[in-house]
A and B are shown apart, each in its own frame.
Chain A
Amino acid sequence: MFSHIRNGLALAAGLALLSPLAQASKADDTLVAAFQAQLPSLDRYHAPGREGFLLGLLAYDALLYRDPNTLEVKPLLATAWRQINPTVWEFDLRKGVKFHDGVEMTAEDVKFSLEYAADEKNRVFNRMTGGWIKSVDVINPYKVRINAEAVTPLAIEYLIQLPIIPKAYREKVGLEAFGQRPVGTGPYKVAKGKGNEIVFTRNDEYFEGGGKSKPKIKTLIYRNIPDVNTQVAELISGGVDWAYYIPNDQAARIERMPNITVKNAETFRIGFITLDAAGLSDPNSPLKNVKVRQAIAYAIDRQAIASKLVGGSSKPVNAACTPSQFGCTQNVTTYKYDPAKAKALMAEAGYKDGFSIDVYGYRSRPVAEAIIGNLNAIGIHANLRWQQYSAVIQQRRDHKTPIVIDDYGSAGVADAGGILPFFFAESPDDQSRDPIVTEAVQKAGSIADQAQRKVLYAKALNRIAEQAYWVPLFTMPVNYVFAKNLSIPIPGDENVEFWRAEWK
């Protein structure tokens, strides 16, 4: 059995000598991209997480498009737009755009899609993006007006995330079938969407003139590989051409391979811990005590985790938003790593001997383990419940999760309004239910005066930090790892433009 060890070591050394394998992908013009998450539905409105967002960009189009690097808003299904009054927008639609089933896209489809997203009964995944819409008026087949419930400063940012789906087809096949065989106008069509693979083929009819373009690579395969390790092995052996969120440890090591490129890029994503301060999961939760929450904030060595585990340019954050976002002041109560103080606070709160509690997580296991180690050191015994993203979020919305180790990319919205309304202000994921925060966030989301919005966000963020409703952790740069013979744009907001990828 010692040969096992020796073998293993020899193999590790051998990896470095591995010659680049023939990349079959280039020959048959197929890009294989690996993802950790599986999509339960291919209906963009019911597909969660970043992968849902990418699906939206591949198979569907929204009215507008945002450049992933400059964040400039560009035309897409709409060619021009104007604000008629504080709550009404008008859009001129592109003529001659065809859905994948050959039917032309018109104002009726836009009305249907946006009103679908707006209707709470439809339970779309991200209600923030559609909830502000009151109604959509069809002026003529190529012109619509969107009426908002109230002033919505982020309306354009939300519209970027709302794909237009074909009314006729969707009504004919129904929710479930649409989730399996979706139809959109996007640069890629869904050819096959079952099992662990979704096969996208190029939409040769894709229109020019919008912010997106006709794909260069014919076939794109979305392969679900939940195990990072297997993803890494596949990248090395050439079975997968592209993957992201590869942990720094592995990324740094496979960078030495001759056939691999690694790019670390800044994102809007931050990591944080949500705490059930309102006691939704348990009326006797120790987390209702502000001292316990502060103790948790003091207990976590964010600096070390950021620099050693997350890596890249990751830095600790103090406020509940991405530092580069508008209104995201970092000038709030900060909790520097101090286990002694944390223990003292625990004792003051009456938990000298600690307690045990469920902690949910889904993304980076090593980070979660480090956090659990930190909590253990102050007497908080965590029962780690490691599940899929959608299951964890679902349970938080069901009021079952005391603590969630979470992260959020704000959908690339460069405004604190991209994150706060999702997690506070009585949203399904709001675990603090603090009226002060709710009032400030709701007001900031319904006025146009930027200076005043900034003041309101600062008020909310200060309250959140003071009460330690969240433990903000760090920024999360992403590692993109891909084949050397692939040229693919690196986005600033995680929205990868696969249609611009090409073989070298």
Chain B
Amino acid sequence: MTKPISATPSAVLSRTAVLALLTRWCPHNWRLGLGSSILLLILLCAIFAPWLAPHSPYDQSLTDRLLRPMFMEGGSWAHPLGTDHLGRDYLSRLLYGARFSLLVGFGTIVLSAFIGIGMGVAAGYFAGKVDLIVMFILTVRLSLPIMLATLAIVGLLGNSLPLMMLVLACFLWDHFLVVARSLTLRLREAEFVLAAKASGYSDLRIMISEILPNLVGPLVVVATLEMGHAILLEAAFSFLGLGIRPPDASWGLMIAEAKDFVFFEPWLVNIPGLAIFILITAITLLGAGLQRLLVKD
């Protein structure tokens, strides 16, 4: 995935700026509206899964396996999306599965943003040797094929949810770094930065309180896109048997578990496949909308 980030600095996010943003949050920006509504809906589904789910996602009943969803012939409202190969309610698993997708997405992004922005701002602010080192780290990171390398690490060190998020975070910070660095480079000579320096503020304080607020817009865009990336990688991991572990439900794992039926009961694969598709599309739309709102003028 590439990030269509144009590297123009955003406006300072002051209170008036926020107001201005809200007024610009207009019907023209359908991407933002649609993307955020879908994402919000999925988020609510994930949070309220215990109340929304008609059954426990773990209850297996081998006599009721592979029941079809209600929109197909032979389906019933008892299991609106049917049951899987172990007789577990598919809708419930889908709802609970959203939790893992979003957890991995958010968790990874928080960590990777921390790594990437930290290094990017430092590189841009100090320039010189620090920049050289950071750029070297970036080159190393970019020459490690993400899927293969993360798979190997998780495979060698054993899979668990925290480890998977940590490993993904260690690989998904590159865009944060690139954007943060290029924006900081332009700001380091800005008047308010020079003024802060003149007043004797520490470098750390300048970076956090003067520079960082100016990066928020473009970085939020990067975050949304990287979140999509993380979610897709988690799905691929679970599909390969190295991600979320059974009996927990994640959308990637649901596809993996249903793949033996792809030729005969394709809906089993298509429902979680479609769920991932919708989630990623929503995130992409949100990212595109945010970009128009926050970055491009």
In the complex they form, whether A and B have CB atoms below 8 Å apart is answered with: yes
The answer on a CB contact under 8 Å between B263 and A236 is: yes
A4-B270, A8-B270 known; A370 and B86 CB under 8 Å? yes
Is A24's CB within 8 Å of the partner chain B?
Answer: no
Is A481's CB within 8 Å of the partner chain B?
Answer: no
Is A20's CB within 8 Å of the partner chain B?
Answer: no
Q: Which of B10-64 contact A (CB under 8 A)?
A: 58, 60, 62-63
A5-B274, A383-B245 known; A373 and B263 CB under 8 Å? no
Q: How far is the CB of B86 from chain A (nearest CB, A)?
A: 5
Is B257's CB within 8 Å of the partner chain A?
Answer: yes
Q: Which residues of A contact B85 (CB under 8 A)?
A: 249, 366, 369
A249-B260, A250-B260, A250-B264 known; A373 and B241 CB under 8 Å? no
Q: How far is the CB of A17 from chain B (nearest CB, A)?
A: 14
The answer on a CB contact under 8 Å between B247 and A12 is: no
Q: How far is the CB of A22 from chain B (nearest CB, A)?
A: 20
Question: Out of A247, A377, A384, which one reaches B260, CB within 8 Å?
Answer: A247
The answer on a CB contact under 8 Å between B260 and A11 is: no
CA distance A233 to B264 in the complex (A): 11
CA distance A61 to B86 in the complex (A): 43
Is B114's CB within 8 Å of the partner chain A?
Answer: no
CA distance A253 to B266 in the complex (A): 13
The answer on a CB contact under 8 Å between B267 and A309 is: no
Interface footprint category on A: 35 or more
**Number of B residues contacting the other chain (C-beta, 8 Å)?**
31
Is B259's CB within 8 Å of the partner chain A?
Answer: yes
CA distance A309 to B66 in the complex (A): 12
The answer on a CB contact under 8 Å between B62 and A308 is: yes
Residue among B60, B63, B66, B259 having the largest count of chain A Cβ atoms under 10 Å: B60
A370-B60, A372-B247, A373-B58 known; A8 and B267 CB under 8 Å? yes
Is A1's CB within 8 Å of the partner chain B?
Answer: yes
Q: Which residues of A contact B265 (CB under 8 A)?
A: 12
Q: How far is the CB of A226 from chain B (nearest CB, A)?
A: 11
Is B273's CB within 8 Å of the partner chain A?
Answer: yes
CA distance A412 to B269 in the complex (A): 38
CA distance A305 to B262 in the complex (A): 22
Is A232's CB within 8 Å of the partner chain B?
Answer: yes
> In this complex, what residue of A is CB-closest to B60?
A373
A372-B246, A386-B241 known; A253 and B62 CB under 8 Å? no
Q: How far is the CB of B49 from chain A (nearest CB, A)?
A: 17
Q: Which residues of B contact A370 (CB under 8 A)?
A: 60, 62, 86
The answer on a CB contact under 8 Å between B86 and A229 is: no
Q: Which of A208-222 contact B (CB under 8 A)?
A: none
The answer on a CB contact under 8 Å between A229 and B259 is: yes
Interface of B is mostly: loop
Q: Which residues of B contact A301 (CB under 8 A)?
A: 62
Question: Out of A12, A227, A366, which one reaches B86, CB within 8 Å?
Answer: A366
Q: Which residues of B contact A368 (CB under 8 A)?
A: 246
A4-B274, A8-B270, A373-B247 known; A253 and B264 CB under 8 Å? yes
CA distance A12 to B266 in the complex (A): 7
The answer on a CB contact under 8 Å between B264 and A12 is: yes
Is B141's CB within 8 Å of the partner chain A?
Answer: no
Q: How far is the CB of B67 from chain A (nearest CB, A)?
A: 13
Q: How far is the CB of A101 from chain B (nearest CB, A)?
A: 40
Is A21's CB within 8 Å of the partner chain B?
Answer: no
Q: How far is the CB of A67 from chain B (nearest CB, A)?
A: 34
> In this complex, what residue of A is CB-closest to B253?
A369
> In this complex, what residue of B is CB-closest to A247?
B260
Is A304's CB within 8 Å of the partner chain B?
Answer: yes
CA distance A15 to B247 in the complex (A): 31
A309-B62, A366-B86, A384-B245 known; A229 and B266 CB under 8 Å? no
A373-B60, A376-B247, A377-B58 known; A232 and B86 CB under 8 Å? no
The answer on a CB contact under 8 Å between B264 and A384 is: no
Q: Which residues of A contact B274 (CB under 8 A)?
A: 1, 4-5
Q: Which of A385-399 contact B (CB under 8 A)?
A: 386
The answer on a CB contact under 8 Å between B62 and A304 is: yes
The answer on a CB contact under 8 Å between B267 and A5 is: yes
Q: Which residues of A contact B72 (CB under 8 A)?
A: 9
Q: Which residues of B contact A236 (CB under 8 A)?
A: 263
CA distance A370 to B274 in the complex (A): 25
The answer on a CB contact under 8 Å between A1 and B263 is: no
Q: Which of B248-297 contact A (CB under 8 A)?
A: 257, 259-267, 269-270, 273-274, 277-278
Q: Which of A43-93 contact B (CB under 8 A)?
A: none
Q: Which residues of B contact A148 (CB under 8 A)?
A: none
The answer on a CB contact under 8 Å between A233 and B273 is: no
Question: Out of B63, B245, B263, B270, which one reaches A232, CB within 8 Å?
Answer: B263
Chain A 332-348 interface mask (CB, 8 Å, partner B; 1/0):
00000000000000000
Residue among A233, A301, A308 having the largest count of chain B Cβ atoms under 10 Å: A308
A interface list, Cβ under 8 A from B: 1, 4-5, 8-9, 11-12, 15, 227-229, 232-233, 236, 247, 249-250, 253, 301, 304-305, 307-309, 365-366, 368-370, 372-374, 376-377, 382-384, 386
B interface list, Cβ under 8 A from A: 58, 60, 62-63, 65-66, 72, 85-86, 88, 160, 241, 245-247, 257, 259-267, 269-270, 273-274, 277-278
Sorted nearest first, the 3 A-B pairs with minimum C-beta distance are A8-B266, A308-B62, A304-B62
Can you give 16 A-B contacts (C-beta < 8 A)?
A8-B269, A15-B263, A15-B264, A250-B264, A253-B264, A301-B62, A308-B63, A366-B86, A368-B246, A370-B86, A372-B247, A373-B86, A376-B247, A382-B246, A383-B245, A384-B245
A369-B246, A374-B60 given; name 15 further pairs at CB < 8 Å. A1-B274, A1-B277, A4-B270, A5-B274, A9-B267, A12-B264, A15-B263, A229-B262, A229-B263, A247-B260, A253-B263, A307-B62, A370-B60, A370-B86, A382-B245
